[in-house]
């Protein structure tokens, strides 16, 4: 499945109650993320599938810019999950003025 055939949604079309699956690494997550996101790094996904939210259809997958999340969506779709890639990732999220939170005292940022 090519990335152009993957289910995708722009950030501004996400439902207000969406809980995106953030597949970035721990340092990226700590620097800035969606307040409602669920964190499972791409490198840990196959061992943590049991942690995927099962109350959300579709499952919105997000990374920094959309590349890693596209690969995760391709994998999840092949496993029967209703996954959708968030176009533009957290860069688009921040660019759209959506809320961000971070660990620590500094301002949230997308790294």
Cα–Cα dist 36/100, whole Å? 9
Pair of tokens at residue 107:
């301002």
Cα–Cα dist 55/59, whole Å? 9
Judge whether 63 counts as a catalytic residue: yes
Cα–Cα dist 42/89, whole Å? 14
Q: Which CATH class is domain 3-95?
A: alpha beta
pTM over 0.85: yes
Residue linked to tokens 């499945």: 1
Residue linked to tokens 């005292």: 105
User: From the candidates 21, 34, 62, 63, which is the catalytic residue?
Assistant: 63
Beta bridge partners of 92: none
Instruction: Please list the rounded mean pLDDT of every run of 10 residues in the chain (111 residues).
Output: 79 92 97 96 96 87 97 96 97 96 93 93
């Amino acid at each position: 499945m090519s990335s152009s055939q993957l289910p995708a949604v722009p950030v501004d079309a996400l439902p207000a109650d969406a809980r995106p699956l953030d597949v970035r690494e721990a340092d990226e997550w700590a620097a800035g993320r969606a307040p409602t996101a669920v964190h499972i790094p791409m490198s840990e996904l196959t061992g943590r599938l049991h942690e995927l939210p099962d109350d959300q259809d579709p499952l919105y997958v997000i990374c920094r810019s959309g590349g890693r999340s596209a690969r995760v969506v391709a994998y999840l779709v092949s496993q029967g999950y209703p996954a959708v890639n968030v176009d533009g990732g957290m860069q688009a999220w921040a660019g759209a003025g959506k809320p961000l939170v971070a660990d620590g005292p500094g301002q949230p940022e997308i790294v």
